Amino acid sequence: MLQRVYLSSGMFGFARLAAYDYFVHLRRALDERLRAAGHEVEIHVVRLAPTASIRRRALVLTECVANTCGDGGGPIHLIGHSTGGLDARLVASPSVALDLPPDKLAWRGRLASVTTMNTPHYGTPLASFFTTVSGQRMLRALSAWTVVALSIGSTPLAVAGALVGMLGRLDRVVGLDLRLIDRTTEAIVRTIDEVRGHEVREYLDSIEDDNGAMVQLMPEAMDLFIAGIEDRPGVLYQSTVSMAPRPSPRTFLRSLRGARSAASGLLFDFLYEITSLIDRRYPCASVGRDVQGERKLVAAFGQAPDLRANDGVVPLRSQVWGTVAWAGYGDHLDVIGHYGGDAPGHVDWLCSGSGFDAKQFRALVDAITAGVLSSVRTR
């Protein structure tokens, strides 16, 4: 049976940028497992504006599926990382109004599963920071760093040094030096231009041009999203959730191994601290605790994590939706294959000290695949 899978990325993500494929590791792993189970596979990576509004991104996702899913039937699976999981839920919701002709939405009758990976279902405090003037500048710098870390592989010393200089002088939450951020961003972008050309600048400009998702991912805004979006009956909803260790003197020592790891470690600590700023009125978590999900968290971490636990971008409890397919230690990009260690082709985006490795990645993809296949059998 032909399985059609659609991958959508989040706030730091892209489909393919220059020669780099954001989902390269996850796509390859899913393809191998589904074929090993005896299925034909088509995997599409949806090209989305990284920080555009969830509704705008959902329209692009809908059009992509409608234009590529064919009319021969067969199950469809949506897998979204970070904000991409919200795009999938919005498209799948029976009550959503997307202002599209019926033929563009007919494929939803074939939808079998929705998988959300480290998705901010209840929002993230980091989005609130990114809506500030200094936060918007910081978002552009972070996105540029992501491209450097993932596409170039070994970060040039000039870039790492610029980040260390910036992060070493910033107040962790407020009082950011805008000129310093801008100078650092330009240093990074100039380095990228030398190896990747104008396409990267266009990607960064798109982030500056449309920050709609940042407003919508604020915990106060997601409170309304939760109230207005419903799950589609007969569709499996599953999630993967992770957290990284809380920054400590030990994790600081980790960052002293070199300029690149120093910059990466400081950057992760900065993001983690902001993401852990929980407002008790909007705690980025479900009001009621799901029994299955809670057992999964306790099994993974030895105890129920508190509200401050996060992956450096999204609070842990904000990531829980539907069945928890996998839970473990890992940062926001570890889970899609961007982790360190000796695995060939895998580049660590942030030095979070999570210990995520090839074994955990295999277990995570196995869990996602098991859910996808169970949804097919159920149908």
**Tokens (6 digits) for 14:** 């892209």
Lowest mean pLDDT among 180-189, 226-235, 353-362: 180-189
Q: Let me know if residue 208 belongs to a domain.
A: yes
Q: Ranked by mean pLDDT, which of 137-141, 146-150, 328-332 comes out on top? A: 328-332
3-state secondary structure of 370: helix
106 within a domain of the structure (yes/no):
no
Tell me the pLDDT band of 158, cut-offs 50, 70 and 90: very low
pLDDT digits (tens, 9 = 90+) for 297-323: 999 999 999 999 999 999 999 999 999
- Evaluate whether residue 144 is within a structural domain: yes
Q: pTM of this prediction?
A: 0.87
Q: Which of 10, 343, 18, 314 is nearest to 148 (CA)?
A: 18
Residue 67's pLDDT is what?
95
Given a cut of 50, whether residue 341 has pLDDT beyond it is yes
**Within the chain, what is the greatest distance between any pair of CA atoms?**
58
Instruction: Answer whether residue 210 is part of any domain.
Output: yes
Q: How many domains does the chain have?
A: 1
- Compare 229 and 265 and report the one with higher pLDDT: 229
Q: Does residue 175 lie in a domain region?
A: yes
| Residue 3 predicted with pLDDT over 90 | yes
Whether 150 is in a domain gets the answer: yes
In a domain, 102, yes or no: no
- State the Cα–Cα distance between residues 282 and 210, nearest whole angstrom: 25
The answer to whether position 282 is within a domain reads no
pLDDT attached to residue 181: 53
Q: Print the domain residue range for 152.
A: 126-214
Q: How far apart are CA 76 and CA 106, in angstroms?
A: 12
The kind and range of the H/E element at 262 are helix 259-275
